[in-house]
């Protein structure tokens, strides 16, 4: 990609960027949220057209007008938010757009055999007949990889491939990527995670605010050097927090049980714990062990089957979502696009979603637009939300990290007693991660209770004051991060070990 420039209203997403990919290499693309990484890869995949610059493949200039052109040139892409049809099977999703038909009738036998053969050859292990809505996020990602392999793509673009995966799934993906390169594929790999770059990448190109800062050899470059290239300053990769004794109980959960809406089985099973003022309690576990349903029950998104939830001593088990929000609960949800934002609203409206009905923002049922936009401008400044058109920016057009910052700004600024943060740093760069950890620790130091749900073992160990491990819907251990190890934590998370819960 030579001298690529792409402009959007109010922002230059890519400013004269040059990127070279060698055959058989894993090339990482590193940059802050909004640095222009996804835009650059979307240009390569034909989803956007560059305003300036050219793309060459094997030395020849090529024109990529759309993703079909990209596929014909052997370029495939796994998007950060997967492009799968939820009520289709794995096999139907893989062949979608390149179906084999005879007299207008789908011929699936040959495709099925090919998909099974590809799945086995690359160690992807997917069930071709499973519905997408019934399989894990990690499996959905494997389906996206198989879509590329089925089309014989030789250049594979992975956009934030590990943002939604468990530690075990990340390790498996790294092995798959190495296997693909051995087979002669070339991989472009967008990530914020320096550990992953060090683990699999050969070279790394760094973007900052749309400009190319440089391309480095990964083996001879330290994580500290990479992070400084990315954010333009030294980043503290170690979380610093002072010892603090916890205060009164803010959240009390007693014998909480939640049934699955699909199977009717208990997905949260007789769970009891508390969160005190001035502490960060982390619920750690492999994805799919009841964490999501526990959070939905606490925030009012689903009803519990039995048990009690108390906030500052008051029973809120039957309260509505709004009553819980007004009563002092803040919620950073696990899926920012599905549960955190209205993507087609602008930033200002998204920032008042939980307070538009208060006297500050409405009078006699009419919204005070001037006050809403003034408030949005305050939060944009205070929380460093990067958006091309300020408060009027449509949420959908913002980078994933800045969408996350908007949610965090909205929730923290409401000054909740209890902040429930689910994967708050998912898909964020090291600068933003450092910033969010500081915000969480500042809330804790201000006497708030923080319930953190995380799949990132580093995050669990570094940020929490107390760790509760969840396995198959039950709390199986209560651990002190100062005295436990990552290996021990992993054993509890996988169900290999059970501990004593206080």
119 shares a domain with 21: yes
pLDDT in tens, 17-56: 999 999 999 999 998 777 888 899 999 999 999 999 999 9
350 shares a domain with 288: no
With CA atoms as reference, report the closest residue to 470 among 489, 487, 444.
489
27 strand-pairing partners: 188, 203
Q: Highest-confidence range of 107-121, 182-196, 315-329, by mean pLDDT?
A: 315-329
Beta strands at 101-102 and 52-57: parallel, antiparallel or unpaired: unpaired
Beta strands at 155-159 and 75-78: parallel, antiparallel or unpaired: parallel
Task: Determine the structural domain holding residue 358 and report its residue range.
Answer: 340-415
Mean per-residue pLDDT of the chain = 88
Of 415, 432, 459, which closes a domain? 415
Of 415, 446, 471, which closes a domain? 415
Query: Which SS3 state, helix, strand or coil, does residue 411 take?
Result: helix
Of 198, 231, 264, which closes a domain? 231
C-alpha–C-alpha distance, residues 68 and 190, integer Å = 21
Say whether pLDDT at 3 is over 90.
yes
C-alpha–C-alpha distance, residues 123 and 117, integer Å = 10
Within-domain flag for 334: no
Say whether pLDDT at 498 is over 80.
no
Within-domain flag for 70: yes
C-alpha–C-alpha distance, residues 430 and 114, integer Å = 40
Within-domain flag for 91: yes
Within-domain flag for 237: no
Within-domain flag for 357: yes
Question: What pLDDT is attached to residue 245?
Answer: 80
473 shares a domain with 500: yes
In which band, very low, low, confident or very high, does the pLDDT at 309 lie, cut at 50, 70 and 90? very high
Say whether pLDDT at 84 is over 70.
yes
169 shares a domain with 85: yes
- pLDDT > 90 in the chain, percent: 48
Say whether pLDDT at 150 is over 80.
yes
37 shares a domain with 94: yes
433 shares a domain with 379: no
In this structure, are residues 307 and 490 in contact, taking their beta carbons and an 8 Å threshold? Answer: no
Say whether pLDDT at 502 is over 60.
no
What's the average model confidence in pLDDT over 263-276?
A: 90
Say whether pLDDT at 334 is over 70.
yes
Say whether pLDDT at 428 is over 80.
no
Question: What pLDDT is attached to residue 487?
Answer: 78
142 shares a domain with 77: yes
Question: What pLDDT is attached to residue 331?
Answer: 95
What's the average model confidence in pLDDT over 304-331?
A: 93
351 shares a domain with 298: no
Instruction: Kindly give the residue spans of alpha helices, DSSP state H, lying in 45-136.
Output: 67-72, 90-95, 109-121
102 shares a domain with 11: yes
């Amino acid at each position: 990609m030579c001298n690529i420039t792409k402009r959007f209203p109010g922002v230059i997403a890519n400013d004269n960027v040059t990127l070279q990919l060698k055959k058989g290499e894993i090339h990482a693309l590193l940059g802050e949220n909004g640095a222009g990484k996804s835009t650059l890869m979307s240009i390569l995949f034909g989803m956007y057209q560059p305003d300036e610059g050219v793309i060459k493949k094997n030395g020849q200039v090529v024109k990529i007008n759309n993703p079909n052109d990209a596929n014909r040139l052997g370029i495939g892409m796994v998007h950060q938010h997967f492009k799968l049809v939820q009520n289709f099977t794995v096999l139907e999703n893989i062949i979608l757009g390149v179906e084999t038909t005879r007299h207008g009738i789908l011929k699936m036998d040959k495709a099925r055999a090919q998909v099974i053969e590809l799945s086995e050859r690359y160690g992807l292990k997917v069930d071709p007949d499973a519905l997408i809505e019934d399989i894990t996020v990690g499996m959905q990602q494997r389906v996206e990889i198989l879509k590329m392999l089925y089309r014989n793509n030789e250049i594979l673009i992975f956009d934030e491939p590990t943002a939604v995966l468990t530690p075990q799934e990340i390790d498996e993906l790294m092995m798959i990527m190495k296997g693909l390169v051995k087979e002669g594929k070339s991989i472009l790999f967008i990530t914020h995670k320096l550990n992953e770059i060090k683990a699999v990448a050969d070279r790394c190109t760094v973007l900052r605010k749309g400009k190319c800062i440089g391309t480095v050899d990964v083996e001879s470059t330290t994580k500290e050097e990479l992070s400084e290239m990315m954010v333009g300053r030294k980043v503290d990769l170690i979380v610093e927090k002072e010892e603090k004794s916890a205060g009164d109980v803010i959240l009390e959960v007693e014998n909480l049980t939640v049934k699955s809406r699909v199977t009717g089985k208990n997905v949260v099973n007789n769970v009891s714990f508390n969160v005190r003022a001035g502490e960060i309690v982390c619920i750690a576990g492999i994805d799919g062990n009841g964490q999501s349903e526990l959070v939905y029950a606490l925030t009012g998104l689903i009803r519990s089957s039995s048990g009690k939830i108390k906030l500052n001593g008051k029973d809120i088990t039957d309260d509505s979502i709004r009553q819980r929000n007004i009563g002092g609960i803040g919620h950073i949800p696990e899926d920012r696009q599905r549960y955190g934002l209205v993507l087609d609203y602008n930033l200002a409206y998204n920032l008042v979603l939980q307070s538009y009905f208060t006297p500050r923002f409405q009078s006699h049922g009419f919204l005070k637009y001037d006050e809403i936009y003034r408030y949005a401008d305050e939060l944009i400044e205070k929380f460093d939300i990067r958006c091309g058109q300020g408060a009027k920016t449509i949420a959908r057009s913002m980078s994933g990290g800045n969408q996350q910052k908007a949610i965090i700004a909205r929730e923290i600024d409401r000054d909740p007693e209890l902040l429930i943060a689910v994967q708050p740093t998912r898909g964020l760069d090291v600068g933003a991660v450092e910033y969010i950890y500081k915000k969480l620790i500042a809330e804790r130091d201000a006497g708030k209770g923080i319930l953190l749900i995380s799949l990132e073992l580093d995050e669990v160990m570094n940020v929490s004051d107390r760790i509760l491990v969840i396995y198959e819907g039950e709390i199986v251990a209560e651990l002190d991060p100062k005295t436990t190890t990552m290996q021990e934590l992993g054993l509890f998370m996988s169900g290999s070990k059970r501990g004593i819960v206080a």
